Amino acid sequence: MKKMKIIFLGDIFGKIGRRGVIKVIPELKKEYKPDFIIANAENLAHGHGITRNSLQEMLGAGIDFFTSGNHIFDKPDGEFILAEKDAPIIRPTNYLEEITGQGEKILNIGQNKLLVVNLMGRVFIQEDYKNPFICMDEVLKKYENENLSGIIIDFHAEATSEKVALGYYLDGRVSAIIGTHTHIQTADEKILPRGSAYISDVGMIGAKESVIGLNVEQVIQNFINEAGMSADIPESGTCLINGVYIEINSETKKALKIERITKETEIK
């Protein structure tokens, strides 16, 4: 049996997240011996969007490819990077209008072809997107004649109900449905009945003592005073590393294993 070994890392949040990645990637490679590493990069540059330098820093650290979400265009570099033919990053595929970049991409991993798709949820999301269920039907139809070894979905969504429902909807048709966006790792990783790996949210790479990556006291005061002010991102302290390790049978495209990754490292 041939298999692919994939690590998918949660949203990398700001400088502390990037520094955490640099420290922990060698350990992850030694422990899991992955064929490929994917991470969500929409919060890479100070919590909002990407820059060319921040993306190159993470490529240099050993991440092979990136998904994103609703913040991918928050900085000007995002549009320029996504416009490049060989960009190592995708944006959500279910935008309502034609927009820069690709929403899915086939990646060559040795002899294997892995399709990675980025989707946005719609429940509790301010922006409007195409229906992710119907959109995924269209994507799978588009690639049905490709000799794929696996299909991984990053579903960047707020509501666990929407994520769980999409997981069961796609079960058996894709290799893995990985939830992102909330920055809180869930404990529901499993292989669904028809063979797809699933987790509601993979978590984040960012400050452990934070509110989803942001300064605790500032966020508390925002809730108390209903102020809606911006909050700082801690740059030192304990960095939480969240992700999942997935094994895929490259002959059947079914998942063999999904295991949560939770590590910590000190950033000075």
CB 82 within 8 A of CB 91: yes
> Any idea how long the chain is?
268
Q: What is the CA radius of gyration of the chain?
A: 17
Indicate the pairing of strand 204-207 with strand 11-12: parallel
Q: Identify the bridge partners of residue 244 per DSSP, sorted by sequence position.
A: 8, 260
Query: Alpha-carbon torsion 48, 123, 134, 155, what sign?
Result: positive
Known active-site residue 71: yes
Joined tokens for residue 234: 């801690």
DSSP string, 18-58: HHHHHHHHHHHHHHH--SEEEEE-TTTTTTSS--HHHHHHH
Q: Residues 48, 71, 181, 183: which is the catalytic one?
A: 71
Q: List, by residue number, the catalytic residues.
A: 71
